[in-house]
Structure formats: structure tokens, C-alpha cells
A and B are shown apart, each in its own frame.
Chain A
Amino acid sequence: MAMASLQHRTADLLVIGGGIHGCSAALHAAMRGLQVIVFEKDTVARHASGVNAGGVRKLGRHVAEIPLSLHSMSIWRRIADLLDDDCGFQPSPQIKVAETAEELETLRGRVAELNSLGYTHEQILDRQTMRTYLPAVAQHCVGAIASLDDGFAQPYQTTFAFQRKAQQMGVRVLEHTPVERVSRSGEEWKVQAGAQEFTGRFVLNCAGAWGGEIARQIGDHAPVRAYAPMMIVTERLRPFCTAVVGAAGRPLSFKQMPNGTVVIGGGRPGVPEPANNRTHMQMSELRHSAQTAMDIFPVMRGAQIVRSWAGIEGLMPDGIPVIGPAAHAPGAFHAFGFSAHGFQLGPGVGDIMAELIATGSTQAPIKPFSIKRFPQDPTRAQKELS
């Protein structure tokens, strides 16, 4: 990276991490008139944001995530207007099939719970209705839970589109620029990156699996762990499935893309190496995904796998992200640890973070995602601040 002038090293908001959350927050902050710099240690969308399964899913979310997911969905529906790029977004049902009567009973319980909370986006499909949506599903499947107006998109295309739109709005995206140090000095945040020092009023941690270290430098504690979801894609098959499919009783994420290829994920992880940005596939684990896919769609038995891959994602112990202000430090914010289901939330949470940072508050119910739910170290935080 070339040396930037002093003016170019100062901004309102310094965003750490060029994934979908960093780029979305940067864009939304720029739309609110903030000057923004994004720091990305590799290239934009290099990890989880670029290589996830692309599900745009409200189905099956933690109850606390539902309002955020609904908000995000409203942005997805106009994503082409927002980004001048359709992001490959395709509305489609998301369906999770039950293979036993007990599983279906659990799903009924879920719908009842959501209904009691006033949410109606998930519904039970009886066997016959399920088969109209999934004519190729195995005979033994007894029913399903579905969110009919979900969809999927192209992850890299989407994150790249957020980056480009943000850049058009004046955001500076610095790739190959790892953040070495975050510190507070007076009323300002300093970010040491690529042998230069940047200054901003606000700092936003969107560093995914690497978010724990950034949080530590801000003075917070969050037990994020690197995690490497593995995926498989097959050769092109004759169209047989238009919905995104999961299974109630075992891990699966399954969808046939418009070009006929089938993407299978949702199973056990590979081995992440966050220190050198690599992942290793565990084919011996991936075989379970292969088995599940064949069990639920017998047509898959003759399908050829063309590729497999994995990306590095940040996983929280309770499976929901960290979203909101830092525990103690003023002007610092977090949006990381999306635990392998952050892609759909990207547009919405970016908007919420921009609102929170630009105006000091948000109507969005983000309290359950506070970093304070994890034990913090107040003495260290005090020291960092003084």
C-alpha cells in the first residue's frame, strides 16, 4: 500500500474487516454522510463472506435474530436498487424436512412458539404440500417447516457489490492492510495498519474469526473461535429442486443453483488455520454431508462432486453474533462472530450499525447480542481507557 497523506489517514469511522458486514456497514455509514475507511488484511470477501453457501434465510433463526433478519430481508428485496447489482439474489422457499414423526412434532412446536411471539414467517408443510415443493425428496420424509419467501444469493458477487458501491460513495477500502494495533488516544481511535497510523472518531470491529483479538485491543473480551464450514458442489444436474433445503434431524444445507449444480453444506467443519488464512478439508467428515444429501434426495446418488471448499468463520459459544457498542470504550462497536449464519444479516446489520454509530442509538433490538453477555475484565478495560 502506498503512503497515504494525513488527510487520507483520517476518517469518521474506521472499519476493521472487509467482509459483508464491514462493507455493508461502511456503505450505510457513507450513506449517512460519514467518512469511512475499511481495513482488510487479505482481499474483500476472502473468507466467510465470499465462500459461504449463499442462503438468504429467515427460517430457523434464533428468536433474538428474527427482527434483524426481517429487517435485512427488506433490504435484500431491493438489493439491486441499493447496489446496482442483483447479487444473484433469487427468492425461493427455505424448507427443512423432517425424517421422522418426532422431528415433525418438534417443528410444530417451533411454529407454535413463533406464532405466540407474533411471527408468522415459518409454517408447517404436511407431507403432500412438502412434496409439491420438493417432488424429488425421499419417500421417508414426513413433512417440513418452511419459510416460503426466503431465497439465496451469490456470496462473493454480493460482498464485492457492497464494496464497489461503498467505494462509489467515497469509502476507502484498503486491501492487504492488516490492522496491527487499535488504541484510544483522547477522543479518538488510532488504528495502526500497513505501517501507517489512521485516526477516527469511531471504530467498528467486523473482523469475523479474527474479531476476538480486535475486541481485546479495544478492551473487550469475546470468546470467538475460528470455524471452517465445508461445502461441496456437484456437476450440473437436470433441474429437480427450486427450494433451499435443510434437515431437522441432521446437519444439511442443500440447494440446486439455477445452472443445475448442487451446493451441499451445513455439515461438520474442516480445519481452520486463522493464523495463515488457510483451511484444510476433512473429506472423512464431508462424507456425512454426502450421505445426508443422498438420503434426502436419492437422485444425488449418481452425482459427481466437482469441488469442495471451506472458509474461515467466527463462531461464538452461544451461536449468536456480537452486535453493538463496546463494553466500556466509547466510540467502539462490534459486529462479528456471526457463527456461520451471518450472510443474510449483512445488509440489515450494516444499516443498524451505521444508524447506531451515526446517531448514537438504534431502535433495533440488539441487546441480546451485547458483548457484555460474556465476562469482561473491568480493570483492564479501565486501564485501556486511561
Chain B
Amino acid sequence: MNACDLAIIGAGPAGMAAATEAANAGLSVILLDEQPAPGGQIYRGIETVPEERRKLLGPDYGKGLSIAQAFRASNATYIPEATVWNINPDLSIDYSRNGGSSQISTRHLLIATGAVERPTPMPGWTLPGVTTAGALQILLKAHGGVGDDVVLVGSGPLLYLLAQQMIEAGGPPKAIIETIDRSHYLKAARHLPRALSALSYLRKGMAMMRQIRRAGVPHYTGARDIRIEGAQRAEAVCFSAHGRAHRIETTSVALHQGVVPNQQATRLLGCDHVWSESQRCFIPKLDAFFESSVENVFVAGDGAGIAGANSAEIRGRIVALRVAQKLGDDKGTQIRALQKKLSRDEAIRPFLETLYAPSDEVMVPHDDVLVCRCEEVTAGAIREAVDLGAPGPNQIKSFLRSGMGPCQGRMCGLAVSSIIAERRKENPQSIGYYRLRPPLKPLLLSELAQLEREPTRDEPL
């Protein structure tokens, strides 16, 4: 099998920009993506969304169109609807498509699988009718509307962006319940001077808040002790704020506590990760060119640490040029220019991260809260196992089955590491994370059975 110069997983801004840049530099490029069309989560449906809805979703969304068009025009090979389920140590990639399995080989790999919403374990979060802000936004992008009594709960820019988009679409949320602790404002203010160099982000944020106020959406701040009530499905959100108890009836709750890097692929490859205190999540350890601790494996986009769509695109270009450079092309000047641009774009991050840091209630939930939804493991059960002597996430997994269900640990991984860290009074860095194994996504037995044998691998026996 001939190896390509660069394989990219993910067709969001990072993946598309990297593919375009690398192909234009003369590299052979293959981009694999799960969706039927390019765009990723942020620019989902960008090529096909009706113009009216594109306007409704705002100019930041519309920007994706030119990136997608440039990608389409490039020489990069694009394989849509491909679910990557394994990456081997030699960087060969197994993926399924149309019910069959295939493999490609590459000399360099860019993981551009972006971010996932931080799971938000809290009482009642598993009730039907409770979803995430990200899931609602997908609905909005696909259908233009999301229901009429949605209550948004949590913290983070996406929560306000979604509110704004719902207002634009004519169906504003019933209420916004914000969990930001008052102390965060003071702490975040320290990062304002640097954030001012990214003034456009601040302006956009303020405009968003004004629009939400004007639309008359009830906005609660400093919410604590949040629980979602309901017998068969969500009926109300209860919380306390500034010393008063509240109960808001709703059949539809969208939770959000920011987004975190999707670590599945980098963990599978054994890349080193570091715990980010400011982002409160694990981030792959990367050099200035976004190469990981595993040689020739790069990470760009939000998977390299949350920084948004503009940074994702710049990071993707840096990776493409770096790979070209590794293959003998001098791209030093261009790379340095992009790095400078990136540093300006990222200036807003410390401010946002501090302001929207997830609440402790979510990071280390109370004992009776379900943390692993698939196997129904509570935070209390995890603490008990830690007290018995189970030292880390993998032992907790073996002991309680947390992380063994169909979501493959995506929903509970961060919470389990955080709960163990809290209980053992250690940093999540020393606690670590689940060991990840293939398949990266659930795979039919029949798809595995018909996987072509790799011709290059020596037998161990």
C-alpha cells in the first residue's frame, strides 16, 4: 500500500485548511471525515444550508464557506462518511464506509477531530428532554428551530451564541441559567488587558449579551445546586441563586459547560497529555508546530486545546507547512507569520477560560449523581472504590464498569479522573485517564471480520 504524505482526520476548519494548504504545497493528502459534507461541527452543512439560515446563523458561520470551497478546489483526496475506528502504531488507519472496512497508510497524520462538549453530570441530567447546547445547535443548523420552552443551563460562549441564534430564528429560550461563580469575574478581569488585543471577540460577546437582554430572555446568574426534576422526563429545572430558590418548568433543558479536546484518537496513539488547570481538561502535549509526543502525529483545531474556529484554521495551516518542511520544503517564513497571527487570535482565551471555568458542582458531582450513564455508576460508587484502594481510572473502569459502555468513556472519562483526583487529593495529571483501545467508534463484528489483512506486519508468533 502506498503511503500518502499527510492523512487528516476531520473536515472542520483545521482539517480543511490543512488539507488545502498541504495539497497546494504539492503533498499527497487524504482527508477522512465522518460527515457527508465538509465543515465539521462549527461549519456543519455550510455548503448546503439555505442562504437565509446561513445569515441567521451569523457571519462567523458564513466564513466557513470559503474554507470549504478552497478545500473542494484543492487536490486533496476527500473521503466523506468514513468512520475511523483504529489507528495503528505505524500510522495506518482503519475506517469503515458503506458497511465495509478499509485501510490507508500515511507518513504523517493530523488529528483534527476537534472538541466535544464537556459532559455535565448533575441530578436529572439523564432524563429524556435533557440535551446539550451543542446538540441543540446541530438541530438549529439542520432545521432552523428547536422548540419553544428550552431552558439553557451552564456557562460558556456557546450558551450565549445558541441563545442569540434561537432569538434570530424566532424561538428564544425560556430562560438562561448561568452557573458562573461571582469570583470568576474578578479573576478573569486580570486577563482583560491581553484580551483587549482581541477586541473583536469582546465586541461580539457584548453584542450577543445585549441582544439577549433586549429579547427579554430571563437570565439568572450565580446558579448553584442545580437539579432537573421529572418523573418520566424533564419537567423543571430547580436551582438556587443569590440566596433564593427557583423552579422553572420546562420539558426541554440544554446543558453546557464549555467544550474540551476530543482525546480519543490521541489517547489511542499513546500521545502524552497534560492537564490544563485553566481549561480543566487534558490537552495533548504539542510543540510549537502542533506535533505530539508521537513522531509525525499532529493535532490541530480545538483538539489541540480550545481556541475556536479561527485559531483552528491557522493551526491547520501551520501543520500543513510543517509537514511540507519536514519533507524538505523551506516554509519557515510562512510558519512564523502564521504563528504570530495565531498568538493574536488566542489572546482572548485566558479571559474566556477563567470566566467560564466549569463549576465544581460539575467537575466533582455529589455522591448520588450518575457519572457513567451507560453502566449507571454514581460519583459515590467511584469515591467508595477509591477508598477501597483502586488507584486510577483504569482500575475504576475494571471494578465498576464505568467507561465500558457504548459511549466508550466519552461521557464519564473527565469526571472519573477528576473525582479520583479530588478524593486522593492529587492533580488529575498524576491520576491520568482511561487507556483507550480500538475501535474508536463502535464497529460491527461483520465489519471487523472482513478487514483486509495488513501485508507489512510481522507475526509475533
- Which residues of A approach B to under 8 Å, CB–CB? 43, 45, 50-51, 154-157, 160, 163-164, 167, 175, 228, 232-235, 259, 261, 268-272, 278, 280-284, 286-287, 290-291, 293-294, 300-309
Q: Which of B39-47, B113-121, B403-411 is found at the contact surface with chain A?
A: B403-411
Chain A residues, Cβ within 8 Å of B94: 283
* Contact in complex: B461, A283 (CB < 8 Å): no
* Contact in complex: A175, B445 (CB < 8 Å): no
Assuming A163-B389, A283-B438, A287-B451, what are 6 further A-B pairs, CB within 8 angstroms?
A235-B406, A280-B88, A280-B89, A282-B457, A304-B442, A305-B443
Q: Which residue of B lies closest to A85 (CB)?
A: B388
Return 16 A-B CB contacts under 8 Å, by A number: A45-B395, A164-B388, A235-B406, A259-B401, A283-B439, A283-B448, A284-B453, A284-B457, A286-B448, A287-B449, A287-B453, A294-B445, A294-B446, A302-B445, A307-B404, A307-B408
Chain B residues, Cβ within 8 Å of A302: 444-446
* Contact in complex: A271, B460 (CB < 8 Å): yes
* Contact in complex: A301, B445 (CB < 8 Å): yes
* Contact in complex: A43, B392 (CB < 8 Å): yes
Q: Which residue of B lies closest to A282 (CB)?
A: B457
Q: Which residue of B lies closest to A234 (CB)?
A: B445
Residue picked from A290, A301, A302, most chain B C-beta under 10 Å: A290
CB distance from B389 to the nearest CB of A (A): 6
The verdict on A307 contacting B391 (CB below 8 Å), with A234-B445, A278-B270, A284-B451 known, is no
CB contacts under 8 Å to A, within B302-355, are none
CB distance from B377 to the nearest CB of A (A): 12
- Which residues of B approach A to under 8 Å, CB–CB? 86, 88-89, 94, 270, 388-392, 395, 398-399, 401, 404-406, 408, 435, 437-439, 442-446, 448-454, 457, 460-461
Q: Which residue of A lies closest to B451 (CB)?
A: A287
CA distance A178 to B445 in the complex (A): 39
CB distance from B135 to the nearest CB of A (A): 21
CA distance A182 to B270 in the complex (A): 32
* Contact in complex: B390, A301 (CB < 8 Å): no
Chain A residues, Cβ within 8 Å of B457: 282, 284
Chain A residues, Cβ within 8 Å of B401: 259
* Contact in complex: A175, B391 (CB < 8 Å): yes
| The one of A157, A164, A287, A304 that contacts B398, using a Cβ cutoff of 8 Å | A157
| The one of B89, B399, B406, B435 that contacts A304, using a Cβ cutoff of 8 Å | B406
* Contact in complex: B437, A293 (CB < 8 Å): no
CB distance from A128 to the nearest CB of B (A): 28
Chain B residues, Cβ within 8 Å of A175: 391
CA distance A45 to B454 in the complex (A): 32
Chain A residues, Cβ within 8 Å of B435: 309
CB distance from B441 to the nearest CB of A (A): 9
CB distance from A229 to the nearest CB of B (A): 11
Q: Which residue of A lies closest to B385 (CB)?
A: A160
* Contact in complex: B445, A293 (CB < 8 Å): yes
The verdict on A290 contacting B390 (CB below 8 Å), with A50-B398, A157-B398, A306-B406 known, is no
